[in-house]
Amino acid sequence: MSTAHVGKPIDRIDGRAKVTGAAKYAAEYNEPGLAYGWIVNSAVARGRIAAIDVAEALKVPGVIHVFTHENTPRLAWLDRSYRDQIAPPGSPFRPLYDAEIHFSSQPIALVVADSSEVARYAATLVRVEYAATGHATELDAHLAEGRAPKKRGGIKPPPKARGGPDGALEKAAVKVDVAYRVPAEHHNPMEMFATTVHHEPDGKLVVYDKTQGVQNVHDYLCNIFGFAADDLRVVSKFVGGGFGAGLRPQHQVFLAVLAARELKRSVRVVLTRPQMFSLGYRPATRQRVALGASPEGVLEAVIHEAFQETSRFEDYSEMIVNWTGLLYRCENVRLDHAIVPLDLFTPLDMRAPGAVWGLFALESAMDELAVALKVDPIELRLKNYAEEDGNEDKPFSSKELRECYRRAAERFGWADRNPEPRSMRRGSTLVGRGMASGVWESNQQKAAAKAVLTVDGKLTISSATEDIGTGTYTIMTQVAAEALGLAMADVTFLLGDSTLPQAPVEGGSFTASSVGPAVQAACEAIRADLLGYALKLDGSPLAGAKIDDVEFVDGTIRLRDAPAKAVAITAVLRAGGVEAIEREAAVGPSAKQQRYTRLTHSATFAEVEVDEDFGTIRVTRVVVAVAGARILNPKTARSQVLGGVVWGIGSALHEESVLDHAFGRFMTHNLADYHVPVNADVHAIDVIFVEEHDEIVNPLGVKGLGEIGVVGVAAAIANAVFHATGRRVRKLPIKLDDLL
């Protein structure tokens, strides 16, 4: 097929707007008379508000109102059954609902004033007396309370054990049986969570929200506040990073809408960076991985157990251990997953949730097994390569992981690695090289798109999806321009508005694979219409042609076999006497694809330098090869993987949300204490896309790339640190004091 646009490294079409400041974010929709809300957060982790006194705050000139649980109207939220699309089983947190404190930093009041500064000052005057009760926030102290989570939509529970894993482990000639500890991490997108609610004279609301799902927020607000669908519209045209933090409506949108509704005026609420730590997070996790192998390195027993924290009101769970049962072939497998409810807010999906922690443990343990067997880590993985999904006994729709190992190893220069730990040096610096596999889901969800082609040859496509920095605007424009043979400049893609055709949240790496096919289908419907008009032209050069006989190229419809026989699309529209053709299409997962396990894979190779005296670690090089089927845009695709690798460096060496259990509070609640990799921490990163064809995964043949880039990176780095130093660190982040 022709590829005028798809597969080309086209610059982001929203890039200029973003770097020039023309792109408007949720907190930038200004209007006269806007009121500003400032959130007051709980100082205790569990208990009750015994008394809350807002009198002093109300005295400050400019303060309009202070919302607390005592004066917030009773609303439809009394129905505890209402949940947002992404909510795990349980009873979602309801801000200002009652006097109960469920977690430290819980929002307990909203001060609304005519300026942000006044609201912030007045918030300091709200007097709160707490009746604190004991809280429990320490995962290690409560592992005995671990239990299976209630089933969460989209999350597969671990498969049933197969074979006799514990007995097989006992008998295995070579074994590794180890435990891994990883901390909580917070998403920390650059853009704070923010909502500006525009209140119209008739009471209708336009909600400019930072979110990964405008329709999810719309439906949540309608349900909570009892609005009719037309009473409010949620808009999110640009998002300054999401990573999963914006999958669920956050409390600032609730508070801003509450205030706008009650005060009948426009209101903005913005979180501060410290308040961002009162939101969901990647949960701290404890794992055991036990691997048993024959002397030849054939896996004979695989056991992976995980405990992760959640809140007391929702059973958050993610797939941590499942990957272990499908990435390698083994007959004797036991995978267990438990949640431990604590006095914390509910965790929230963060970039490759579950796989990041699960693959850190599994791929570290595989490295330990390779060392015990004295076999090359790639050899061990190839020897146990899964040709089908052992969890569900399904074939893979495609799997080019072998080629990922080969291509990445070659580019990295793996052959030059001396397998002996502490054997490689640059001056006084120890050099280590490690590798790991990565795996993530490649799902498709139902999505719709509308295409409008006007007589001037301009196409507008729309869908209520998002661009959280991933490149959605660009790739959807490419898909549409390709389908109709138009120039990129003649196509406009609209997103981030709840009134547009239905789309899922932007998450789970399923936007390209879900919205892309809908865009394609809407354009195909227009193609059929255009051909119909073209055939009616007097003396049509296309006479008798079927849709498969023609192609849409350079603004024309032409015969594939005789490209000189062509008509311009604009001429067809004019002759047809139509101002515009409008077509909407919805596409969902096919029955056929359900018979296959659909995954994207990666192989990551990392080199580190470790200073022998100081224990400082530098990740000097990362090579990652990704098998992600058809690549719509190698430039935006590469950027997705680069971002994932940088996050992997952060997980390995920097990021950690530290709880002070005396207070039950995350103390690292700013970017000085919560470390993320900065430019000086990020060196060469080489991204390879391995060729992979997949006609099963979805009609476009694409796999999502938003998450695979981070999976396995921390293990590759930890394995490199072992190779450099001979120290096996089974916790993250790895710090210099772990190496001294």
Residues lying near ligand MOS in the complex (CB under 6 A) are found at 212, 242-244, 247, 349-351, 353, 507-508
Output the CA torsion sign for 240, 120, 659, 312: negative
Residue whose CB is less far from ligand MOS, 464 or 566: 464
Q: How far is the CB of 662 from ligand MOS (least distance, A)?
A: 31
Residue whose CB is less far from ligand MOS, 244 or 628: 244
Residue whose CB is less far from ligand MOS, 157 or 241: 241
Residue 204 CA to residue 199 CA, distance in Å, equals 6
Residue 145 CA to residue 137 CA, distance in Å, equals 12
Residue whose CB is less far from ligand MOS, 72 or 322: 322
DSSP, residue by residue, 117-132: HHHHHHHTT-EEEEEE
Residue 452 sits at φ, ψ, to 5 deg, of: -125, 115
Coil, helix or strand for 170? Answer: helix
Residue 2 CA to residue 347 CA, distance in Å, equals 45
Residue whose CB is less far from ligand MOS, 241 or 541: 241
Residue 215 CA to residue 678 CA, distance in Å, equals 34
Coil, helix or strand for 421? Answer: coil
Element spanning 524, H or E: helix 511-535
Residue 318 CA to residue 337 CA, distance in Å, equals 9
Q: How far is the CB of 643 from ligand MOS (least distance, A)?
A: 12
Residue whose CB is less far from ligand MOS, 187 or 268: 187
Q: How far is the CB of 355 from ligand MOS (least distance, A)?
A: 10
Task: For residue 419, give every residue at least 6 positions away whose Cβ sits within 8 Å of its Cβ, in sequence order, or none.
Answer: 376, 723
Residue 620 CA to residue 608 CA, distance in Å, equals 5
What does DSSP assign to residue 413? T
Residue whose CB is less far from ligand MOS, 349 or 376: 349
Cα torsion 272, 273, 277, 278 to 10°: value is 0
Residue 555 CA to residue 545 CA, distance in Å, equals 18
Residue 277 CA to residue 668 CA, distance in Å, equals 8
Residue whose CB is less far from ligand MOS, 67 or 243: 243
Our measurement of the distance from residue 351's CA atom to the centroid of its chain's CA atoms, rounded to an integer in Å, reads 4
Our measurement of the distance from residue 549's CA atom to the centroid of its chain's CA atoms, rounded to an integer in Å, reads 41
Residue 385 CA to residue 328 CA, distance in Å, equals 5
Q: How far is the CB of 338 from ligand MOS (least distance, A)?
A: 21
Q: At what angle do helices 634-653 and 355-373 cross, to 10 degrees?
A: 70
Q: How far is the CB of 175 from ligand MOS (least distance, A)?
A: 34
Element spanning 723, H or E: helix 713-725
Residue whose CB is less far from ligand MOS, 463 or 725: 463
Residue whose CB is less far from ligand MOS, 107 or 347: 347
Residue whose CB is less far from ligand MOS, 353 or 358: 353
Q: How far is the CB of 536 from ligand MOS (least distance, A)?
A: 47
Residue whose CB is less far from ligand MOS, 136 or 253: 253
Report residue 412 as tokens.
């990295």
Residue 48 CA to residue 132 CA, distance in Å, equals 6
CA atoms within 13 A of residue 178's CA, in its CB half-sphere: 20
Q: How far is the CB of 23 from ligand MOS (least distance, A)?
A: 20
Query: Quick one: which of 341, 343, 349 has its CA closest to 318?
Result: 349
Coil, helix or strand for 25? Answer: coil
Residue 90 sits at φ, ψ, to 5 deg, of: 140, -155
Task: For residue 634, give every residue at least 6 positions away whose Cβ sits within 8 Å of its Cβ, in sequence order, or none.
Answer: 7, 8, 9, 689
Alpha helices in 27-88 (DSSP H): 55-59
Q: Do 361 and 180 meet the contact criterion of CB atoms below 8 Å apart?
A: yes
What does DSSP assign to residue 616? -
Q: How far is the CB of 86 from ligand MOS (least distance, A)?
A: 9
Residue 170 CA to residue 479 CA, distance in Å, equals 54
Q: How far is the CB of 658 from ligand MOS (least distance, A)?
A: 22
Q: How far is the CB of 706 from ligand MOS (least distance, A)?
A: 7
DSSP, residue by residue, 558-583: EESS-TTSEEEHHHHHHHHT-SEEEE
- The residues carrying an active-site annotation are 707
- The CA radius of gyration of the chain, in Å to the nearest whole number, is 27
Which residue in the block uniquely carries the two structure tokens 């580019």?
411
Residue 336 CA to residue 148 CA, distance in Å, equals 9
Q: How far is the CB of 282 from ligand MOS (least distance, A)?
A: 9
Residue whose CB is less far from ligand MOS, 47 or 354: 354
Which residue in the block uniquely carries the two structure tokens 């991933």?
470
Coil, helix or strand for 192? Answer: coil
Q: How far is the CB of 313 from ligand MOS (least distance, A)?
A: 21
Q: How far is the CB of 353 from ligand MOS (least distance, A)?
A: 5
